[in-house]
Amino acid sequence: MRKFNTESFFWIATTQQVMQATFDLGSDDLLSAKDRAELDDVFQQMAKTCDVVELKFTKKYVGHIIHALKESDSDLKRGDFCSMLHQLRDRMADELGDKIFIHVNNVKYFEEKNLFGEAVSNKFPKLTLKRLESV
């Protein structure tokens, strides 16, 4: 089980929305060196965020995008980049569809060491949340 907050998902979703709104799907204009450098920074962060939320196939595609941005002899058009963003979104949606997320309303209960009280923890010291998950 991985613990992370929804900020990771929010960052990915809003970043993709802004990029898709910025890059015209039909544009034949090339990405500038400045655009590529800024986008490289964004996708480096996205790769780290994919690690946090365990999206390994999405991270692989992010790696392809980073590679395309770094190729100095590549004529990457804004429209082609936008198509890559759509592919990234679809890959992420497929991968997230195979996961179950549980909302914990009060984090202090999730982080509580004596989840069932001190008496139970003393009686069963090896009983942990991770142990409960494996049952």
Burial class of residue 33 in the structure, from the number of CB atoms within 10 Å of its CB (0-12 exposed, 13-18 middle, 19+ buried): exposed
Whether the full predicted model's pTM is greater than 0.75, yes or no, is no
Q: What's the rounded Cα separation, in Å, for the pair 112 and 128?
A: 10
For the chain, 135 residues long, the average pLDDT of each consecutive 10-residue run is 73 81 74 88 92 91 94 81 90 85 70 76 69 49
Q: Collapsing DSSP states into helix, strand and coil, what is residue 77?
A: strand
pLDDT of 135:
45
Nearest by Cα to 50 from 100, 3, 80, 8: 8
Domain ranges of the chain: 7-96, 104-135
String of DSSP letters for 13-37: HHHHHHHHHHS-TT--PBPPHHHHH
pLDDT of 124:
78
Burial class of residue 88 in the structure, from the number of CB atoms within 10 Å of its CB (0-12 exposed, 13-18 middle, 19+ buried): buried
Structure tokens at 106: 């009060």
In angstroms, the Cα distances linking 132 to 22, 36, 116, 127 are 46, 46, 12, 7
